[in-house]
Each structure stands twice: as C-alpha cells, then as structure tokens.
Amino acid sequence: MRATVVNRARGIAVALAVFGLLGTSAAEAAPAPADGTTASEELFSPITEADILDPSVATPEGVLPPDEADGGVDNNPNHAIAWFRARLGSTAFEGYCERAARLSWNRTRVHPSAIAHWRAEGPRHTTGRPPRGAFVFWNTSKWGHVGVADGAGGFYSTSVRGRIGHAKSVSYFRNYLGWIKGSRS
C-alpha cells in the first residue's frame, strides 16, 4: 500500500512539474495524523484529467479567486479597465494573465493561454497604439502574456511588478506582439 501511495505521489509531482504547477518554495513536514494513516496517504489523491486541463483545480483552495467576473453587464473597454483597477496590487492572478483578461471583459470564450488567444482571434495588429480595452500581447514564454490597453499607450495586467498593475508603455515587457480589439465573445 505504501509503495502505491508513494508512486502515486511521485506521479502527481511529475505531472504538476511538467505543467508548471509546482512552486519553488520549500514545504514543512506535517505532523503525523492521529488516526494511524501515513502522512502520504492523507495528503495525496489521484490526479485526474481535470487537474491537468484546469490548473486551478490542482492549486490549493483559496489561492485563486472563483472563476467569476464581477457580475457586471457592461462589456466594454471601461468595464474591462475598471475590473483591473479594482484589483490593483492583487497577486491572486499571478501566472493567470489570460484568465484575468477574460474575466475583465466577462468573456464567454476561453483560451488556454495568451499565445493561444493571440493565434485564435483577429484581426491582429502589430503596429499603432492599441485602443482602450484592446487585448495587448507579448511573446514572453511558450504561454505568452496578455493585458488590457488603457488607450494612451499603456496597459493593465498581471505581473506588473509582481501583481496586477498599470504600465505606461507596452514596452514594459519584452517581445511585444501587438493587439486585438477587446470584446466579450
């Protein structure tokens, strides 16, 4: 039984590492359970396909806010920017820029990453100042990065000094790709 639990734990750790879901901080050992089960039996459960497809399922409860927009019915650039402004300084969406951008517009269309969003929608613009509310994209990694333009050459996004913030120029991140008009669908 113990070998099965240990092998299952290793499998989970490998799957999470492959999909970039493990943090790099050290963990402290938990005290032994009083009911006679081993610590590894108590801490691990089988990984499912849903854990891989939806990273928020595999994260500790409370790390990410619920996958809900703010319930607003205004799906326009001002609403998207207000969504980010209401969360300035929050670290809750670090690593989930596409999710934050989607929620800011109350979007019904879901993309697995910023790069997938950039590739799936259009028309794509690689020059010119992004209009207020446009999705702005960077090729920062294999997943990319996305924010929402402020209309004055800057944008709101996650990962601005490690949290939701505002930058005055799309040059804040390297490898700017361009912009796509913001929309709910």
Q: Kindly tell me the burial class for residue 159, based on how many C-beta atoms sit within 10 Å of its own C-beta (0-12, 13-18, 19 or more).
A: buried
DSSP letter for 125, please.
B
88, 161: one domain: yes
45, 84: one domain: no
Is there a domain that residue 66 lies in?
Answer: no
Is there a domain that residue 72 lies in?
Answer: no
85, 172: one domain: yes
120, 173: one domain: yes
CB within 8 Å of 58: residues ≥ 6 apart: 16, 21, 47, 51, 52
Is there a domain that residue 69 lies in?
Answer: no
* Ordered per-residue pLDDT tens for the chain, 185 residues: 444 444 454 454 444 444 444 443 333 333 444 444 443 333 333 434 443 344 443 334 444 455 444 555 567 899 999 999 999 999 999 999 999 999 999 888 899 999 999 999 989 999 999 999 999 999 999 999 999 999 999 999 999 999 999 999 999 999 999 999 998 77
Per-residue pLDDT, 75: 72
Per the structure, the complete domain to which residue 14 belongs is given by 2-58
List, edge to edge, every strand of the sheet that includes 155-160: 163-167, 155-160, 145-149, 135-138, 176-180
46, 117: one domain: no
Q: What is the DSSP string of 65-106?
A: --S--------SHHHHHHHHHTTTT--TTTT-HHHHHHHHTT
162, 89: one domain: yes
Per-residue pLDDT, 76: 87
Structural domain count of the chain:
2
Per-residue pLDDT, 162: 95
14, 95: one domain: no
